[in-house]
Chains A and B, each alone.
Chain A
Amino acid sequence: EVLLLESGGGLVQPGRSLRLSCATSGFTFTNFAISWVRQAPGKGLEWVSGISASGGSTHYADSVKGRFTISRDNSENTLYLQMDSLRAEDTAVYYCAKGLSFGSVIDYFDYWGQGTLVTVSS
């Protein structure tokens, strides 16, 4: 069974940092690109960032470029999102989502986690 389990969310003040993790199992992690997608309360979905299977290629939405960093540890089957200089508008549930390709992060997603809530507020 494919599982993706996000963690690391919580309440954080504007301007501070937070690191999210996504622990995976049930598939060969090293073979697939994987992304973060967020959903603000009561709103739609926004793709945030994606990373290729090897970790050699990363992409970011303009809204987070320069503030967020995606990475992966293929020995631990875990995806990360380092979020710096957080803003109120970053408040959302953050999902990790598995792609179907090795190299391309521009893809659809066949498995999603349950999400972790990040609240940016003073």
Chain B
Amino acid sequence: IVLTQSPVSVSVSPGETATLSCRASQSVSRNFAWYQQKPGRGLRLLIYGASTRATGVPDRFNGSGSETDFTLTISSLQPEDFAVYYCQQYSSWPPGITFGPGTKVEI
């Protein structure tokens, strides 16, 4: 299953809203997650099950979608939110686990 993220990068100002999209080449139901990565760091889980926020994730991060189309909305962007965001599907084996190529959110 191929995941396509758009846009590749997006420039926003602090306080604004960023909308990130991810499309799967076939249905993954709601077996879908979003992660944040900052330079030189491991990944931080933000959303799983397409829309459930992970522990400690601020409510300005919201996930939605199902089947093949998914969205991560980051409201009221804070300086610490500027990072690369990856989507992931975890449907049954095969095909297993794949990640999207990432969306960079920059100032």
* A binding-site residues for B, Cβ under 8 Å: 4, 35, 37, 44-47, 50, 59, 61, 95, 97, 105-115
Contact = CB atoms under 8 A, between A and B. Distances in A.
Nearest to A111: B45
Contact of A44 (B33, B90, B96, B102): B102
A59 B40 CA distance: 27
The size bracket of the interface on B is: 20 to 34
Contact of A106 (B41, B45, B86, B96): B96
A112 B42 contact: yes
Interface of B: 33, 40-45, 48, 54, 86, 88, 90-93, 96-102
A106 B42 contact: no
Contacts of A111: 45
Given A44-B99, A45-B99, A109 B45 contact: yes
B39 to A, nearest CB: 11
Contact of A59 (B45, B96, B98, B99): B96
A70 to B, nearest CB: 14
B66 to A, nearest CB: 15
B86 A114 contact: no
A41 B102 CA distance: 14
B77 to A, nearest CB: 23
B103 to A, nearest CB: 11
A50 B99 CA distance: 15
Contacts of B48: 108, 110
Nearest to B97: A47
8 contacts: A37-B99, A45-B86, A47-B96, A47-B97, A47-B99, A108-B88, A112-B44, A115-B42
Given A35-B97, A59-B93, 13 more contacts: A44-B102, A45-B102, A47-B97, A47-B98, A106-B90, A106-B97, A107-B90, A108-B48, A109-B45, A110-B54, A112-B43, A112-B44, A114-B42
